[in-house]
Structure 1
Amino acid sequence: MQSPHPEQQYLHMLQLILDTGSERSDRTGVGTKAIFGHSMRFNLSDGFPVFTTKRVFWKTAFKEMLWMLSGGTNVRELIAQNVHIWSDWPYKKFIDAQAVGSPDKLLSINAFEQRILEDQAFADKWGDLGPVYGKQWRRWKTSDGREIDQVSQVIESLKKDPASRRILFDGWNVGELNEMALPPCHKHYQFFVDGTTNRLSGAMVQRSVDSYLGCAFNIANLAFLTTLLAHQTGYEPGEIVWFGMDVHLYLNHVEQAQKQLARTPKPFPKLLIKRKPESLFDYTIDDFEMVGYDPHPAISAPVAV
Protein backbone atom coordinates (compact mmCIF):
# COMPACT_ATOMS: atom_id res chain seq x y z
CA MET A 1 0.00 0.00 0.00
CA GLN A 2 1.42 3.36 -1.03
CA SER A 3 2.00 5.89 1.75
CA PRO A 4 -0.01 9.12 1.49
CA HIS A 5 1.81 12.11 0.06
CA PRO A 6 3.30 14.14 2.94
CA GLU A 7 1.54 17.28 1.68
CA GLN A 8 -1.76 15.61 2.53
CA GLN A 9 -1.02 16.60 6.14
CA TYR A 10 -1.39 20.25 5.15
CA LEU A 11 -4.52 19.67 3.07
CA HIS A 12 -6.03 17.73 5.97
CA MET A 13 -5.30 20.70 8.25
CA LEU A 14 -7.07 23.11 5.88
CA GLN A 15 -10.08 20.82 5.71
CA LEU A 16 -10.12 20.42 9.49
CA ILE A 17 -10.22 24.20 9.93
CA LEU A 18 -13.05 24.53 7.41
CA ASP A 19 -15.03 21.71 9.04
CA THR A 20 -14.43 22.33 12.74
CA GLY A 21 -12.79 25.73 13.15
CA SER A 22 -14.22 28.19 15.64
CA GLU A 23 -15.24 31.45 13.96
CA ARG A 24 -13.52 34.32 15.75
CA SER A 25 -12.86 38.02 15.48
CA ASP A 26 -9.22 39.10 15.28
CA ARG A 27 -7.00 42.18 15.42
CA THR A 28 -7.16 42.68 11.63
CA GLY A 29 -10.96 42.91 11.55
CA VAL A 30 -11.18 40.26 8.81
CA GLY A 31 -12.21 37.34 11.03
CA THR A 32 -10.97 33.76 11.04
CA LYS A 33 -11.91 30.13 11.51
CA ALA A 34 -9.40 28.61 13.92
CA ILE A 35 -8.31 25.43 15.64
CA PHE A 36 -5.88 25.13 18.54
CA GLY A 37 -2.90 22.80 18.46
CA HIS A 38 -1.80 20.94 15.33
CA SER A 39 1.40 19.26 14.16
CA MET A 40 3.00 18.06 10.94
CA ARG A 41 6.16 16.04 10.34
CA PHE A 42 8.23 15.81 7.15
CA ASN A 43 11.20 13.53 6.43
CA LEU A 44 13.66 15.61 4.40
CA SER A 45 15.01 12.49 2.68
CA ASP A 46 11.59 12.22 0.96
CA GLY A 47 12.10 15.55 -0.80
CA PHE A 48 12.03 19.19 0.17
CA PRO A 49 8.61 20.15 1.61
CA VAL A 50 7.75 23.11 -0.59
CA PHE A 51 4.07 22.55 -1.25
CA THR A 52 2.84 21.70 -4.72
CA THR A 53 -0.94 22.18 -4.65
CA LYS A 54 -0.24 25.86 -5.26
CA ARG A 55 3.04 27.50 -6.25
CA VAL A 56 5.16 28.58 -3.29
CA PHE A 57 7.61 31.34 -4.11
CA TRP A 58 10.44 29.59 -2.35
CA LYS A 59 13.09 32.16 -3.27
CA THR A 60 11.05 34.82 -1.49
CA ALA A 61 10.76 32.57 1.56
CA PHE A 62 14.49 31.79 1.57
CA LYS A 63 15.42 35.46 1.17
CA GLU A 64 13.30 36.20 4.23
CA MET A 65 15.05 33.47 6.25
CA LEU A 66 18.51 34.64 5.15
CA TRP A 67 17.53 38.19 6.15
CA MET A 68 16.46 36.98 9.59
CA LEU A 69 19.67 35.00 10.01
CA SER A 70 21.66 38.11 9.11
CA GLY A 71 20.05 39.94 12.02
CA GLY A 72 18.18 42.30 9.69
CA THR A 73 15.23 44.35 10.94
CA ASN A 74 14.63 46.90 8.15
CA VAL A 75 12.40 46.27 5.13
CA ARG A 76 14.89 48.13 2.94
CA GLU A 77 17.08 45.02 2.84
CA LEU A 78 14.11 42.96 1.61
CA ILE A 79 12.72 45.47 -0.87
CA ALA A 80 16.17 45.68 -2.47
CA GLN A 81 15.77 41.95 -3.21
CA ASN A 82 12.24 42.37 -4.57
CA VAL A 83 10.69 40.93 -1.40
CA HIS A 84 7.58 42.80 -0.30
CA ILE A 85 6.01 40.49 2.30
CA TRP A 86 6.91 42.77 5.25
CA SER A 87 6.16 46.13 3.64
CA ASP A 88 2.49 46.37 4.64
CA TRP A 89 3.27 46.85 8.33
CA PRO A 90 5.61 49.88 8.12
CA TYR A 91 3.47 51.33 5.32
CA LYS A 92 0.36 51.19 7.52
CA LYS A 93 2.30 52.81 10.37
CA PHE A 94 3.51 55.53 8.01
CA ILE A 95 0.03 56.27 6.63
CA ASP A 96 -1.53 56.28 10.11
CA ALA A 97 1.09 58.77 11.30
CA GLN A 98 0.43 61.36 8.59
CA ALA A 99 -1.71 64.41 9.33
CA VAL A 100 -4.98 64.70 7.43
CA GLY A 101 -4.36 66.42 4.11
CA SER A 102 -0.60 65.79 4.11
CA PRO A 103 0.75 65.10 0.59
CA ASP A 104 2.69 62.13 2.02
CA LYS A 105 -0.61 60.49 2.89
CA LEU A 106 -1.20 60.02 -0.82
CA LEU A 107 1.89 57.85 -1.26
CA SER A 108 1.00 54.44 -2.66
CA ILE A 109 2.77 51.46 -1.16
CA ASN A 110 4.90 51.23 -4.33
CA ALA A 111 5.97 54.86 -3.93
CA PHE A 112 6.60 54.25 -0.23
CA GLU A 113 8.90 51.31 -1.05
CA GLN A 114 10.71 53.34 -3.70
CA ARG A 115 11.36 56.10 -1.20
CA ILE A 116 12.63 53.51 1.29
CA LEU A 117 15.16 52.42 -1.33
CA GLU A 118 16.24 55.91 -2.34
CA ASP A 119 16.30 57.71 1.02
CA GLN A 120 18.34 56.10 3.80
CA ALA A 121 17.07 58.53 6.43
CA PHE A 122 13.48 57.78 5.42
CA ALA A 123 14.25 54.04 5.54
CA ASP A 124 15.81 54.36 8.99
CA LYS A 125 12.68 56.10 10.28
CA TRP A 126 9.89 54.23 8.48
CA GLY A 127 11.43 50.99 7.27
CA ASP A 128 12.59 49.72 10.64
CA LEU A 129 10.40 46.99 12.09
CA GLY A 130 11.75 47.18 15.60
CA PRO A 131 13.47 44.29 17.41
CA VAL A 132 11.86 41.54 15.33
CA TYR A 133 13.20 38.06 14.52
CA GLY A 134 16.74 38.87 13.40
CA LYS A 135 17.39 41.12 16.40
CA GLN A 136 16.27 38.45 18.87
CA TRP A 137 18.02 35.57 17.09
CA ARG A 138 21.37 37.32 16.74
CA ARG A 139 21.39 40.14 19.35
CA TRP A 140 19.19 39.21 22.31
CA LYS A 141 19.85 41.93 24.88
CA THR A 142 20.52 40.93 28.47
CA SER A 143 19.80 42.95 31.61
CA ASP A 144 23.46 43.99 31.87
CA GLY A 145 23.54 45.30 28.28
CA ARG A 146 25.29 42.34 26.64
CA GLU A 147 23.98 40.80 23.42
CA ILE A 148 23.61 37.05 22.86
CA ASP A 149 23.89 35.50 19.40
CA GLN A 150 21.53 32.57 19.86
CA VAL A 151 22.00 31.15 16.36
CA SER A 152 25.79 31.05 16.73
CA GLN A 153 25.31 29.27 20.05
CA VAL A 154 23.20 26.63 18.27
CA ILE A 155 25.97 26.06 15.71
CA GLU A 156 28.56 25.76 18.46
CA SER A 157 26.42 23.23 20.36
CA LEU A 158 25.83 21.14 17.23
CA LYS A 159 29.56 20.91 16.73
CA LYS A 160 30.69 20.40 20.32
CA ASP A 161 27.74 19.05 22.31
CA PRO A 162 25.29 17.43 19.88
CA ALA A 163 23.53 15.42 22.62
CA SER A 164 22.51 18.61 24.44
CA ARG A 165 18.84 19.21 25.08
CA ARG A 166 19.46 22.97 24.92
CA ILE A 167 20.12 23.35 21.19
CA LEU A 168 17.46 25.97 20.64
CA PHE A 169 16.71 29.63 20.14
CA ASP A 170 13.72 31.87 20.81
CA GLY A 171 12.23 35.06 19.43
CA TRP A 172 9.57 35.77 22.08
CA ASN A 173 11.29 38.47 24.11
CA VAL A 174 8.51 39.65 26.42
CA GLY A 175 10.32 42.87 27.31
CA GLU A 176 10.50 44.04 23.68
CA LEU A 177 7.21 42.81 22.18
CA ASN A 178 5.64 46.28 22.21
CA GLU A 179 8.51 47.64 20.10
CA MET A 180 8.00 45.10 17.30
CA ALA A 181 5.96 45.76 14.16
CA LEU A 182 4.63 42.23 14.60
CA PRO A 183 5.45 39.90 17.51
CA PRO A 184 7.09 36.68 16.30
CA CYS A 185 4.68 34.09 14.95
CA HIS A 186 7.31 31.35 14.68
CA LYS A 187 8.72 31.80 18.14
CA HIS A 188 10.76 28.76 19.18
CA TYR A 189 13.22 26.52 17.31
CA GLN A 190 14.90 23.40 18.66
CA PHE A 191 17.25 20.86 17.10
CA PHE A 192 18.09 17.20 17.69
CA VAL A 193 21.05 15.13 16.51
CA ASP A 194 20.58 11.38 16.05
CA GLY A 195 24.06 10.06 16.67
CA THR A 196 23.19 6.67 15.16
CA THR A 197 22.21 8.05 11.76
CA ASN A 198 24.20 11.32 11.88
CA ARG A 199 21.02 13.18 11.03
CA LEU A 200 19.92 16.60 12.26
CA SER A 201 16.23 17.26 12.82
CA GLY A 202 14.56 20.57 13.57
CA ALA A 203 11.30 21.61 15.21
CA MET A 204 9.47 24.91 15.41
CA VAL A 205 6.61 26.15 17.58
CA GLN A 206 4.37 28.72 15.93
CA ARG A 207 2.00 30.67 18.18
CA SER A 208 -0.08 32.10 15.30
CA VAL A 209 -0.48 30.48 11.90
CA ASP A 210 -1.94 32.09 8.79
CA SER A 211 -2.73 28.67 7.39
CA TYR A 212 -3.41 29.75 3.82
CA LEU A 213 -0.75 32.37 3.06
CA GLY A 214 1.93 31.93 5.69
CA CYS A 215 2.12 28.26 6.63
CA ALA A 216 3.73 27.07 3.38
CA PHE A 217 6.51 29.64 3.88
CA ASN A 218 6.94 28.58 7.51
CA ILE A 219 7.29 24.88 6.65
CA ALA A 220 9.69 25.59 3.78
CA ASN A 221 11.82 27.88 5.95
CA LEU A 222 11.99 25.38 8.82
CA ALA A 223 13.23 22.77 6.33
CA PHE A 224 15.62 25.33 4.83
CA LEU A 225 17.11 26.35 8.16
CA THR A 226 17.49 22.74 9.31
CA THR A 227 19.17 21.83 6.02
CA LEU A 228 21.57 24.79 6.25
CA LEU A 229 22.54 23.94 9.82
CA ALA A 230 23.17 20.32 8.79
CA HIS A 231 25.23 21.50 5.82
CA GLN A 232 27.38 23.71 8.03
CA THR A 233 27.92 21.24 10.89
CA GLY A 234 28.49 17.96 9.07
CA TYR A 235 25.14 16.19 9.46
CA GLU A 236 22.58 14.87 7.03
CA PRO A 237 19.13 16.49 7.12
CA GLY A 238 16.68 14.40 9.13
CA GLU A 239 13.10 15.43 9.86
CA ILE A 240 11.28 18.63 10.58
CA VAL A 241 8.44 18.79 13.07
CA TRP A 242 6.07 21.75 13.02
CA PHE A 243 3.78 22.67 15.90
CA GLY A 244 1.02 25.22 15.29
CA MET A 245 -0.94 26.69 18.18
CA ASP A 246 -3.62 29.19 17.00
CA VAL A 247 -4.01 27.79 13.47
CA HIS A 248 -6.43 29.95 11.52
CA LEU A 249 -7.90 30.56 8.11
CA TYR A 250 -8.94 34.12 7.33
CA LEU A 251 -12.56 34.32 6.18
CA ASN A 252 -11.49 35.99 2.93
CA HIS A 253 -9.28 32.95 2.16
CA VAL A 254 -12.01 30.29 2.34
CA GLU A 255 -12.68 30.19 -1.40
CA GLN A 256 -8.96 29.93 -2.18
CA ALA A 257 -8.50 27.10 0.34
CA GLN A 258 -11.39 25.17 -1.19
CA LYS A 259 -9.83 25.56 -4.63
CA GLN A 260 -6.49 24.28 -3.32
CA LEU A 261 -8.15 21.31 -1.62
CA ALA A 262 -9.47 20.14 -4.99
CA ARG A 263 -5.90 19.65 -6.27
CA THR A 264 -3.70 16.57 -6.03
CA PRO A 265 -0.16 16.93 -4.63
CA LYS A 266 2.79 16.36 -6.94
CA PRO A 267 6.21 14.91 -5.96
CA PHE A 268 8.32 17.13 -3.72
CA PRO A 269 11.44 18.61 -5.34
CA LYS A 270 15.03 18.37 -4.14
CA LEU A 271 16.99 21.31 -2.76
CA LEU A 272 20.42 21.66 -4.36
CA ILE A 273 23.04 23.66 -2.42
CA LYS A 274 25.72 24.74 -4.87
CA ARG A 275 28.49 25.69 -2.44
CA LYS A 276 29.45 25.60 1.23
CA PRO A 277 30.45 29.06 2.45
CA GLU A 278 32.61 29.71 5.50
CA SER A 279 29.64 30.27 7.80
CA LEU A 280 25.87 29.96 8.04
CA PHE A 281 25.64 33.71 7.56
CA ASP A 282 27.41 33.79 4.18
CA TYR A 283 24.88 32.01 1.97
CA THR A 284 23.14 33.99 -0.78
CA ILE A 285 19.99 33.11 -2.71
CA ASP A 286 22.14 32.20 -5.73
CA ASP A 287 23.55 29.26 -3.75
CA PHE A 288 20.26 27.33 -4.06
CA GLU A 289 18.32 25.56 -6.76
CA MET A 290 15.00 23.72 -6.41
CA VAL A 291 15.27 20.70 -8.69
CA GLY A 292 12.08 19.17 -10.06
CA TYR A 293 9.59 21.68 -8.65
CA ASP A 294 6.45 21.46 -10.80
CA PRO A 295 3.59 22.88 -8.71
CA HIS A 296 0.01 23.73 -9.55
CA PRO A 297 -0.47 27.44 -10.36
CA ALA A 298 -0.40 30.07 -7.63
CA ILE A 299 -3.70 31.14 -6.02
CA SER A 300 -3.59 34.76 -4.87
CA ALA A 301 -5.19 35.97 -1.64
CA PRO A 302 -5.11 39.28 0.28
CA VAL A 303 -2.86 39.76 3.31
CA ALA A 304 -4.56 40.71 6.56
CA VAL A 305 -2.54 43.42 8.31
Structure 2
Amino acid sequence: MNDPATDDTSYLGLVRRILSGGEPREARNGATFSVFAPDPLRFDLSAGQLPMLTTKKVSFKNVFYELVWFLQGRTDVRWLHEKGVHIWDGNAVTHGSPNLGPIYGKQFRASGPKEIDQIARCLASIRANPYGRRHVVSLWNPSELDEMALPPCHGLVIQFFVRTNGMLDLHMYQRSADVMIGLPYNITSYSLLLLMMAHCTELRPGHLTMSLGDAHIYAVHAPTANVQVERVPNPFPQIRIKDGVRRDDPSTFEIEDFVLADYAHHGTLTYTFVV
Protein backbone atom coordinates (compact mmCIF):
# COMPACT_ATOMS: atom_id res chain seq x y z
CA MET A 1 0.00 0.00 0.00
CA ASN A 2 1.21 3.53 -0.76
CA ASP A 3 2.77 5.57 2.04
CA PRO A 4 0.55 8.22 3.64
CA ALA A 5 0.94 11.58 1.90
CA THR A 6 1.96 14.87 3.45
CA ASP A 7 1.40 16.93 0.28
CA ASP A 8 -0.60 16.78 -2.99
CA THR A 9 1.60 14.13 -4.63
CA SER A 10 -0.71 11.10 -4.42
CA TYR A 11 -3.74 13.17 -5.43
CA LEU A 12 -1.88 14.52 -8.47
CA GLY A 13 -0.89 10.96 -9.36
CA LEU A 14 -4.57 10.03 -9.47
CA VAL A 15 -5.33 13.04 -11.68
CA ARG A 16 -2.54 12.08 -14.09
CA ARG A 17 -3.76 8.49 -14.23
CA ILE A 18 -7.28 9.56 -15.16
CA LEU A 19 -6.11 12.13 -17.73
CA SER A 20 -3.84 9.61 -19.43
CA GLY A 21 -5.91 6.45 -19.22
CA GLY A 22 -9.39 7.16 -17.94
CA GLU A 23 -12.26 5.52 -19.79
CA PRO A 24 -14.41 8.04 -21.73
CA ARG A 25 -18.00 7.78 -20.54
CA GLU A 26 -21.31 9.62 -20.93
CA ALA A 27 -22.54 10.10 -17.38
CA ARG A 28 -25.75 11.47 -15.86
CA ASN A 29 -24.48 15.04 -15.98
CA GLY A 30 -21.89 15.11 -18.75
CA ALA A 31 -18.92 13.38 -20.34
CA THR A 32 -16.21 12.09 -18.02
CA PHE A 33 -12.95 10.21 -18.01
CA SER A 34 -13.22 7.55 -15.30
CA VAL A 35 -11.24 4.88 -13.51
CA PHE A 36 -12.68 2.39 -11.08
CA ALA A 37 -11.21 1.45 -7.70
CA PRO A 38 -7.82 3.18 -8.00
CA ASP A 39 -5.24 2.72 -5.26
CA PRO A 40 -6.54 4.25 -2.01
CA LEU A 41 -5.42 7.73 -1.07
CA ARG A 42 -3.71 7.83 2.34
CA PHE A 43 -2.88 10.93 4.36
CA ASP A 44 -0.85 11.41 7.53
CA LEU A 45 -2.26 13.76 10.20
CA SER A 46 0.02 12.61 13.00
CA ALA A 47 2.36 15.62 12.96
CA GLY A 48 -0.40 18.22 12.89
CA GLN A 49 -0.85 18.43 9.13
CA LEU A 50 -4.25 19.17 7.61
CA PRO A 51 -4.49 17.51 4.19
CA MET A 52 -5.63 20.48 2.10
CA LEU A 53 -4.43 20.76 -1.48
CA THR A 54 -1.82 23.36 -2.24
CA THR A 55 -1.83 23.15 -6.05
CA LYS A 56 -5.05 25.12 -5.92
CA LYS A 57 -6.78 27.00 -3.11
CA VAL A 58 -9.30 25.11 -0.98
CA SER A 59 -11.62 27.12 1.25
CA PHE A 60 -11.27 25.99 4.87
CA LYS A 61 -14.38 28.01 5.75
CA ASN A 62 -16.52 26.16 3.19
CA VAL A 63 -15.19 22.76 4.27
CA PHE A 64 -15.69 23.50 7.98
CA TYR A 65 -19.23 24.81 7.74
CA GLU A 66 -20.37 22.07 5.36
CA LEU A 67 -19.02 19.42 7.74
CA VAL A 68 -20.65 21.02 10.79
CA TRP A 69 -23.87 21.34 8.79
CA PHE A 70 -23.74 17.57 8.28
CA LEU A 71 -22.76 16.82 11.87
CA GLN A 72 -25.58 18.92 13.31
CA GLY A 73 -28.07 16.89 11.30
CA ARG A 74 -29.04 19.79 9.05
CA THR A 75 -30.31 19.43 5.48
CA ASP A 76 -31.51 22.97 4.65
CA VAL A 77 -29.11 25.17 2.69
CA ARG A 78 -30.39 28.33 4.36
CA TRP A 79 -28.17 27.62 7.39
CA LEU A 80 -25.17 27.46 5.03
CA HIS A 81 -26.24 30.77 3.51
CA GLU A 82 -26.07 32.34 6.96
CA LYS A 83 -22.41 31.29 7.03
CA GLY A 84 -21.73 32.60 3.51
CA VAL A 85 -21.46 29.11 1.99
CA HIS A 86 -23.24 28.36 -1.29
CA ILE A 87 -21.73 25.07 -2.49
CA TRP A 88 -25.08 23.23 -2.29
CA ASP A 89 -27.16 25.88 -4.08
CA GLY A 90 -27.17 24.06 -7.42
CA ASN A 91 -28.61 20.94 -5.81
CA ALA A 92 -31.27 23.03 -4.09
CA VAL A 93 -32.30 24.54 -7.43
CA THR A 94 -32.46 21.10 -9.08
CA HIS A 95 -34.36 19.68 -6.09
CA GLY A 96 -36.79 22.59 -6.09
CA SER A 97 -36.41 23.25 -2.37
CA PRO A 98 -33.81 24.63 0.07
CA ASN A 99 -34.39 21.47 2.12
CA LEU A 100 -32.51 18.71 0.33
CA GLY A 101 -34.25 15.76 1.95
CA PRO A 102 -32.63 13.05 4.10
CA ILE A 103 -29.08 13.63 2.85
CA TYR A 104 -25.83 13.45 4.83
CA GLY A 105 -26.93 15.32 7.95
CA LYS A 106 -30.04 13.22 8.41
CA GLN A 107 -28.06 10.00 8.03
CA PHE A 108 -25.36 11.12 10.46
CA ARG A 109 -27.76 12.05 13.26
CA ALA A 110 -31.20 10.48 12.66
CA SER A 111 -30.84 7.59 10.24
CA GLY A 112 -33.75 5.39 9.26
CA PRO A 113 -37.16 4.88 10.87
CA LYS A 114 -35.55 4.59 14.32
CA GLU A 115 -33.67 7.89 13.75
CA ILE A 116 -30.37 6.44 14.91
CA ASP A 117 -27.73 9.00 15.88
CA GLN A 118 -24.76 7.32 14.24
CA ILE A 119 -22.19 9.87 15.42
CA ALA A 120 -23.23 9.56 19.08
CA ARG A 121 -23.26 5.78 18.80
CA CYS A 122 -19.81 5.74 17.20
CA LEU A 123 -18.36 8.04 19.86
CA ALA A 124 -19.79 5.80 22.58
CA SER A 125 -18.38 2.72 20.86
CA ILE A 126 -14.87 4.17 20.64
CA ARG A 127 -14.93 5.25 24.29
CA ALA A 128 -16.35 2.01 25.67
CA ASN A 129 -14.52 -0.53 23.50
CA PRO A 130 -11.65 1.23 21.70
CA TYR A 131 -10.25 -1.90 20.05
CA GLY A 132 -13.63 -3.03 18.77
CA ARG A 133 -14.37 -3.48 15.08
CA ARG A 134 -17.78 -1.82 15.03
CA HIS A 135 -16.83 1.85 14.99
CA VAL A 136 -18.78 2.30 11.76
CA VAL A 137 -21.01 5.00 10.30
CA SER A 138 -22.86 4.38 7.01
CA LEU A 139 -24.59 7.16 5.08
CA TRP A 140 -26.02 4.88 2.36
CA ASN A 141 -29.61 4.29 3.40
CA PRO A 142 -31.48 2.58 0.52
CA SER A 143 -34.89 3.23 2.08
CA GLU A 144 -34.44 7.02 1.74
CA LEU A 145 -32.36 7.43 -1.41
CA ASP A 146 -35.31 8.44 -3.57
CA GLU A 147 -36.14 11.33 -1.24
CA MET A 148 -32.65 12.84 -1.41
CA ALA A 149 -31.57 15.70 -3.64
CA LEU A 150 -28.36 13.72 -4.14
CA PRO A 151 -27.62 10.21 -2.87
CA PRO A 152 -24.43 10.16 -0.78
CA CYS A 153 -21.29 10.16 -2.90
CA HIS A 154 -18.95 9.73 0.07
CA GLY A 155 -19.25 8.19 3.50
CA LEU A 156 -20.95 4.99 2.35
CA VAL A 157 -18.79 3.33 4.99
CA ILE A 158 -16.79 5.33 7.54
CA GLN A 159 -14.79 3.15 9.91
CA PHE A 160 -12.57 4.25 12.79
CA PHE A 161 -9.64 2.25 14.17
CA VAL A 162 -7.94 2.90 17.50
CA ARG A 163 -4.26 2.00 17.56
CA THR A 164 -2.60 0.76 20.72
CA ASN A 165 -0.41 3.90 20.69
CA GLY A 166 -3.46 6.10 21.20
CA MET A 167 -3.92 7.21 17.60
CA LEU A 168 -7.23 7.18 15.73
CA ASP A 169 -7.38 6.25 12.04
CA LEU A 170 -10.29 6.66 9.63
CA HIS A 171 -11.09 4.67 6.49
CA MET A 172 -13.83 5.96 4.19
CA TYR A 173 -15.37 4.43 1.04
CA GLN A 174 -16.62 6.84 -1.64
CA ARG A 175 -18.75 5.52 -4.49
CA SER A 176 -18.34 8.57 -6.76
CA ALA A 177 -15.48 11.07 -6.74
CA ASP A 178 -15.54 14.28 -8.78
CA VAL A 179 -11.76 14.46 -8.69
CA MET A 180 -11.22 18.13 -9.55
CA ILE A 181 -13.97 19.82 -7.48
CA GLY A 182 -15.48 17.41 -4.97
CA LEU A 183 -12.52 15.25 -3.97
CA PRO A 184 -10.33 18.12 -2.67
CA TYR A 185 -13.18 19.07 -0.33
CA ASN A 186 -13.69 15.45 0.69
CA ILE A 187 -10.01 15.02 1.55
CA THR A 188 -10.02 18.02 3.87
CA SER A 189 -13.48 17.30 5.28
CA TYR A 190 -12.70 13.73 6.36
CA SER A 191 -9.33 14.87 7.70
CA LEU A 192 -11.16 17.44 9.81
CA LEU A 193 -13.71 14.84 10.92
CA LEU A 194 -10.83 12.59 12.04
CA LEU A 195 -9.26 15.48 13.95
CA MET A 196 -12.58 16.28 15.64
CA MET A 197 -13.40 12.67 16.55
CA ALA A 198 -9.90 12.14 17.95
CA HIS A 199 -10.24 15.26 20.12
CA CYS A 200 -13.67 14.17 21.38
CA THR A 201 -12.37 10.71 22.36
CA GLU A 202 -9.06 11.95 23.84
CA LEU A 203 -7.03 10.27 21.09
CA ARG A 204 -4.56 11.63 18.55
CA PRO A 205 -5.31 11.77 14.80
CA GLY A 206 -3.38 9.28 12.72
CA HIS A 207 -4.04 8.25 9.12
CA LEU A 208 -6.94 8.94 6.77
CA THR A 209 -7.50 6.35 4.03
CA MET A 210 -9.96 7.02 1.21
CA SER A 211 -11.10 4.19 -1.08
CA LEU A 212 -12.78 5.40 -4.26
CA GLY A 213 -15.17 3.63 -6.59
CA ASP A 214 -15.83 5.66 -9.75
CA ALA A 215 -13.10 8.34 -9.77
CA HIS A 216 -13.73 10.70 -12.64
CA ILE A 217 -12.73 13.98 -14.26
CA TYR A 218 -15.37 15.79 -16.25
CA ALA A 219 -14.30 16.46 -19.82
CA VAL A 220 -14.88 20.19 -19.32
CA HIS A 221 -12.39 20.10 -16.41
CA ALA A 222 -9.60 18.31 -18.28
CA PRO A 223 -7.83 21.40 -19.71
CA THR A 224 -7.59 23.03 -16.28
CA ALA A 225 -6.60 19.73 -14.67
CA ASN A 226 -3.66 19.58 -17.06
CA VAL A 227 -2.55 22.96 -15.70
CA GLN A 228 -2.92 21.86 -12.08
CA VAL A 229 -0.82 18.69 -12.42
CA GLU A 230 2.13 20.79 -13.61
CA ARG A 231 2.21 22.76 -10.37
CA VAL A 232 4.72 21.79 -7.71
CA PRO A 233 2.96 20.98 -4.42
CA ASN A 234 3.88 22.48 -1.08
CA PRO A 235 3.63 20.65 2.27
CA PHE A 236 0.16 20.58 3.74
CA PRO A 237 -0.64 23.34 6.23
CA GLN A 238 -0.55 22.83 9.97
CA ILE A 239 -3.67 22.83 12.14
CA ARG A 240 -4.22 22.73 15.87
CA ILE A 241 -7.12 23.07 18.27
CA LYS A 242 -6.63 26.02 20.61
CA ASP A 243 -5.56 25.34 24.16
CA GLY A 244 -8.48 25.03 26.53
CA VAL A 245 -11.02 23.95 23.92
CA ARG A 246 -13.01 20.94 25.10
CA ARG A 247 -15.61 19.31 22.87
CA ASP A 248 -17.48 16.06 23.50
CA ASP A 249 -19.27 15.97 20.13
CA PRO A 250 -17.83 17.12 16.78
CA SER A 251 -21.01 19.02 15.93
CA THR A 252 -20.23 21.55 18.66
CA PHE A 253 -16.95 22.83 17.21
CA GLU A 254 -16.69 26.49 16.24
CA ILE A 255 -14.42 27.66 13.43
CA GLU A 256 -12.62 29.85 15.97
CA ASP A 257 -11.52 26.68 17.82
CA PHE A 258 -8.90 26.02 15.13
CA VAL A 259 -5.61 27.63 14.18
CA LEU A 260 -4.60 27.00 10.56
CA ALA A 261 -1.02 27.97 9.69
CA ASP A 262 1.43 27.81 6.79
CA TYR A 263 -1.13 27.28 4.04
CA ALA A 264 1.07 28.08 1.03
CA HIS A 265 -1.11 27.45 -2.02
CA HIS A 266 -0.92 28.24 -5.71
CA GLY A 267 -3.44 30.57 -7.33
CA THR A 268 -7.12 29.77 -7.67
CA LEU A 269 -8.19 27.52 -10.53
CA THR A 270 -11.74 27.76 -11.87
CA TYR A 271 -13.60 24.51 -12.49
CA THR A 272 -17.18 24.70 -13.74
CA PHE A 273 -19.49 23.19 -11.10
CA VAL A 274 -21.45 20.21 -12.43
CA VAL A 275 -24.67 19.27 -10.59
Q: The TM-score by the shorter chain falls in which range?
A: over 0.9
| One-letter amino acid of the structure 1 residue matched with residue 37 of structure 2 | G
1:292 aligns with 2:262: yes
Q: How far apart in 2 are the matches of 1:221 and 1:256? A: 23
Q: Deviations over 1:29-55 (max 9, x none)?
A: x21000000211111124211110111
Matches within 5 A, 1:1-305: 6-28=7-29, 30-38=30-38, 39-46=40-47, 47-94=49-96, 126-142=97-113, 146-186=114-154, 187-195=156-164, 197-274=165-242, 275-305=245-275
3-state SS in 1 of match to 2:177: strand
| One-letter amino acid of the structure 1 residue matched with residue 82 of structure 2 | A
Give the gaps of 5 or more residues in structure 1: 95-125
Structure with more helix by fraction: 1
3-state SS in 2 of match to 1:23: strand
Q: Deviations over 1:51-88 (max 9, x none)?
A: 10111112101110111000000001111111111010
Q: Aligned in 2, Cα 1:238/1:185: closer, same or farther, shift over 3 Å?
A: same
Q: Aligned in 2, Cα 1:170/1:278: closer, same or farther, shift over 3 Å?
A: closer
Q: How far apart in 2 are the matches of 1:162 and 1:25? A: 45
Q: How far apart in 1 are the matches of 2:5 and 2:187? A: 18
Q: Quote how far apart the aligned CAs of 1:5 are.
A: 5.5
**Aligned 8 A contact 2:201 2:248 in 1:** no
**Aligned 8 A contact 1:203 1:222 in 2:** no
**Aligned 8 A contact 2:42 2:209 in 1:** yes
TM-score relative to the length of structure 2: 0.94
3-state SS in 1 of match to 2:146: helix
Q: Deviations over 1:145-164 (max 9, x none)?
A: x2210110110011111111
3-state SS in 2 of match to 1:192: strand
**Aligned 8 A contact 1:5 1:265 in 2:** no
| One-letter amino acid of the structure 1 residue matched with residue 254 of structure 2 | T
Q: How far apart in 2 are the matches of 1:210 and 1:280? A: 26
Q: Aligned in 2, Cα 1:5/1:148: closer, same or farther, shift over 3 Å?
A: closer
Q: How far apart in 2 are the matches of 1:151 and 1:304? A: 30
Q: Deviations over 1:108-158 (max 9, x none)?
A: xxxxxxxxxxxxxxxxxx21000000101110123xxx2210110110011
Q: Aligned in 2, Cα 1:205/1:4: closer, same or farther, shift over 3 Å?
A: closer
Q: How far apart in 2 are the matches of 1:240 and 1:279? A: 19
3-state SS in 1 of match to 2:27: coil
Quote the RMSD (CA, aligned, Å).
1.4
Q: Quote how far apart the aligned CAs of 1:280 are.
A: 2.3
Q: Deviations over 1:263-289 (max 9, x none)?
A: 001111111212223432211122222
3-state SS in 2 of match to 1:229: helix
Q: Aligned in 2, Cα 1:82/1:201: closer, same or farther, shift over 3 Å?
A: same
3-state SS in 2 of match to 1:296: coil
TM-score relative to the length of structure 1: 0.85
3-state SS in 2 of match to 1:247: strand
Which moved further from structure 2: 286-295 or 215-224?
286-295
Q: How far apart in 1 are the matches of 2:132 and 2:20? A: 41
Q: How far apart in 1 are the matches of 2:95 and 2:68? A: 25
Q: Quote how far apart the aligned CAs of 1:299 are.
A: 0.2
Q: How far apart in 2 are the matches of 1:26 and 1:292? A: 38
| One-letter amino acid of the structure 1 residue matched with residue 194 of structure 2 | T
Q: Which structure would you say has the larger Rg?
A: 1
Q: How far apart in 2 are the matches of 1:295 and 1:71? A: 32
Give the gaps of 5 or more residues in structure 2: none
Q: How many residues align?
A: 267
